[in-house]
Amino acid sequence: MGYKKIEHENYTIVENDNGMILGISNAPIIEADGYAFKDLARAGTLLPFEDWRLDADTRAKDLAQRLTIEQIAGLMLYSSHQMIPSLPGGPFQAHYDGVSYPESGKHPWEMSDEQKTFLSVDNIRHVLVMKLQDASVAARWNNEMQRFAENLPFGIPINTSSDPRHGAADSGVEYKSAGADVSKWPEGIGMSATFSPEVCSQFAEIAAKEYRALGISTALSPQIDLATEPRWMRYADTFGAHIDLTIDMTKAYCDGMQTTKGKPDGWGNDSVVTMAKHWPGGGTGESGRDAHYPFGKYAVYPGDNFDLHMKPFTKGALSLDGPTKSTAAIMPYYTVSWNQDNKNGDNVGNSYNEYIIHDLLREKYGYKGVVCTDWGITGAIDQSIDSFGSRCYGVENLTEAEQHLRIIINGIDQFGGNNKKEPIVEAYNIGCETYGQDFMRGRMEESAVRLLRNIFQLGLFENPYLNPEESVKLVGCEAFQKAGYKAQLMSIVMLKNTNNCLPLKEKPKDLVSSTTCNKLKVYVPERQIKAKKNFFRRMDEAKTISPVSNQLLKEYFIPVDTPEEADVALVFLESPDTDGYSSQDLSDGGNGYMPISLQYRPYTANTARKQSIAGGDVREEFINRSYYGKTTYASNEQDLDNVITTKELMGDKPVIACITMHNPAVLAELEPYADAILVDFGVSRKAILDIITGIAQPNGLLPVQLPLNMETVEKHCEDLAFDIEPYTDSVGATYNFGYGMNWNGIISDARTKKYSL
589 and 689 in a common domain: no
What's the sign of the alpha-carbon dihedral 139, 141, 144, 145? negative
144 and 161 in a common domain: yes
CA distance 339 to 360: 15
CATH number at residue 307: 3.20.20.300
391 and 308 in a common domain: yes
CA distance 152 to 62: 18
Q: Are 543 and 566 in contact (CB under 8 A)?
A: no
Tell me, yes or no, if 680 is annotated catalytic: no
61 and 181 in a common domain: yes
List, in order, residues 6 or more apart from 713 with CB less than 8 Å away.
Answer: 230, 231, 598, 707, 724
**Is residue 707 exposed (0-12), middle (13-18) or buried (19+ Cβ within 10 Å)?**
buried
233 and 323 in a common domain: yes
CA distance 51 to 32: 9
556 and 453 in a common domain: no
627 and 540 in a common domain: no
Where does 92-188 have alpha helices with state H?
101-104, 113-120, 135-150
Q: Does the bond joining 464 to the residue before it have cis omega, within 30 degrees of 0?
A: no
Please state, in angstroms and as integers, the Cα–Cα distance from residue 469 to each residue in 137, 282, 397, 627, 666, following that order.
11, 41, 53, 57, 49
Q: What is the 3-state secondary structure (H, E, C) of 702-752?
A: CCCCCECCHHHHHHCCCCCCCCCCECECCCCCECCCCCCEECCEECCCHHH
Cβ count within 10 A of residue 610: 9
Does residue 24 lie within any of the structural domains? Answer: yes
255 and 400 in a common domain: yes
pLDDT at 207: 97
645 and 518 in a common domain: yes
Does residue 25 lie within any of the structural domains? Answer: yes
CA count, 13 A, side-chain hemisphere, 197: 18
Does residue 292 lie within any of the structural domains? Answer: yes
Q: What is the 3-state secondary structure (H, E, C) of 114-136?
A: HHHHHHHCCCCCEEEEEEECCHH
Domain boundary among 634, 659, 675: 634
For helices 113-120 and 135-150, the axis angle rounded to 10 degrees is: 40
| H-helix or E-strand spanning residue 493 | strand 493-497
CA distance 81 to 536: 14
Of 245, 225, 248, 243, residue with least CA distance to 235: 225
Does residue 109 lie within any of the structural domains? Answer: yes
Below-70 pLDDT ranges, the chain: 1, 170-180, 507-516
Give ∠ CA 271-272-275 in degrees, rounded to 5. 140
Does residue 250 lie within any of the structural domains? Answer: yes
User: Exactly one of 290, 374, 577, 675 is catalytic; which is it?
Assistant: 374
The per-residue b/e assignment along 101-121, b for 16 or more CB within 10 angstroms, e otherwise, is: beebeeebbbbbebbeebbee
If phi > 0 it is left, if psi is from -120 to 50 it is alpha, else beta; for residue 138 that is alpha
Does residue 716 lie within any of the structural domains? Answer: no
CA distance 586 to 54: 61
If phi > 0 it is left, if psi is from -120 to 50 it is alpha, else beta; for residue 108 that is alpha
Q: Are 113 and 205 in contact (CB under 8 A)?
A: no
Cβ count within 10 A of residue 628: 17
Q: Are 26 and 147 in contact (CB under 8 A)?
A: yes
CA distance 92 to 104: 17
Does residue 262 lie within any of the structural domains? Answer: yes
Does residue 228 lie within any of the structural domains? Answer: yes
The whole domain housing 359 covers: 55-478
339 and 211 in a common domain: yes
Q: Are 665 and 598 in contact (CB under 8 A)?
A: yes
Looking at the structure of the chain, the number of domains it has is 4
| H-helix or E-strand spanning residue 522 | strand 521-523
Q: Are 166 and 214 in contact (CB under 8 A)?
A: no
214 and 130 in a common domain: yes
CATH number at residue 513: 3.40.50.1700
Altogether, the residues listed in the chain come to a count of 757
| H-helix or E-strand spanning residue 160 | strand 159-162
CA distance 203 to 199: 6
Strand order in the sheet with 493-497: 558-560, 521-523, 568-574, 655-660, 676-680, 493-497, 741-742, 745-746
569 and 442 in a common domain: no
